[in-house]
Structures are given as structure tokens and as C-alpha cells.
Amino acid sequence: MAKKKKKNTPEVKVPVFLSFLTGFRRFDWAALLLAAVIIIISALAAGHTYKLSEADPYGFLIWFLLIVGHIPMEIIEFTAKLTGIDGSTIESFIAHREAILLGACNLVMLAVCWAVLRFHVLKRYGAEPLRIAAIFFRLIFFWGIFQLFCFIAVKNWSDGKINPLHRELKKVSVVQTHTR
């Protein structure tokens, strides 16, 4: 039997300051991208109120942050009640900063999941659970991107930056502006 020839693929040279990136797996990249989306969404929603009962464009961002971040937030509140820190020290701290706390809780949960999967599950069960987790992280990442697009669309619509596409709607909006 003849041996198969290896294809000569050119080596990609990575700059020295980026050499740590060569050891990243798809799982690591998925976790990194998800962390970036969480940070961006937390920064955009920072300072906006936590009113999910009203039609508010920032609700898209808050609902995304509630996916995983609500669990640690409830644990924090529960331990505060158990230790006698009743009287809303946490509640007064997070007033108008809910998105930042939810983003921090999301990042903590992501870091815990990443560390457990990367260092414990990988050694014990192999790489297959990491592939499944990478798919799950990418799913949450794309859900976050979708929520960002929904936020941008609703924000632009509610700010009046989108013109109606049909002539009938344009006439109605012109008539309404003249009667006011």
C-alpha cells in the first residue's frame, strides 16, 4: 500500500502578543463571544429601570440578562434575608443598576460553567461535553445578538427614526402632525 502524501499547508504565524489565542478551543471562543455580548448588553441597559411590565425597548436587553443572571441574584437576595441584612442594602445598591448586576451575575455564571467544563469535565469525560456546551453557548450568543437587533429596531421605531414605507401611512402621519 502506498502512503498518503501530506498536503503542504503553510504555517500561520501568530504575533507574539497573540500567541495565547492559539490554544483556544471552539468552546473557549464561544464563551468569550458570549461574555462580550453580555458586557455590551449590560453597558447598553445600564441606568435604565427594571420595569418589565411596560413596553420599553430596554426590556429586550433586560430579558436577555435574566436568562442566567437571575439565579445568582436570587441567591444574593436570599442570603441577605437569612443573614439579617433585611432593609434593602442590596436593593438600594441595585436601584437603576439592575442591568449591571445582572450582567455581573451572568459573567460569574459563565465563568463558573466555563471553569467546571474546561478543567473538570474535559479531564473526566473528554471533549464531547465541551462541544455540546459550545453549541449551547453559541445559541445564547445568537439569542443575545437577536435581542440587540430587536432593541435597536424598537428603539429606532419609538424614537421616530423610521419613516412609514406605505404612502397611506405617510399621509396619516402628516395629517396627525398638522392637527397637533
If one compares 171 and 142, the residue with the highest pLDDT of the two is 142
Looking up cell 441574584 gives 73
Domain ranges of the chain: 25-179
Query: Cβ contacts of residue 113 below 8 Å, gap of 6+?
Result: 31, 133
CA distance 47 to 165: 33
pLDDT in tens, 80-124: 778 777 655 556 666 667 788 888 888 988 999 889 988 888 888
pLDDT digits (tens, 9 = 90+) for 34-84: 999 999 999 998 887 766 677 788 888 888 888 877 778 778 778 777 877
Among the listed residues 134, 101, 150, 129, the one whose alpha carbon sits nearest the alpha carbon of residue 32 = 134
Q: Which residues contact 24 (CB under 8 A, 6 or more apart)?
A: 32
Determine the angle formed by the axes of helices 58-82 and 128-158, rounding to 10 degrees. Answer: 120
- 139-158 tens-digit pLDDT: 999 999 999 998 988 888 77
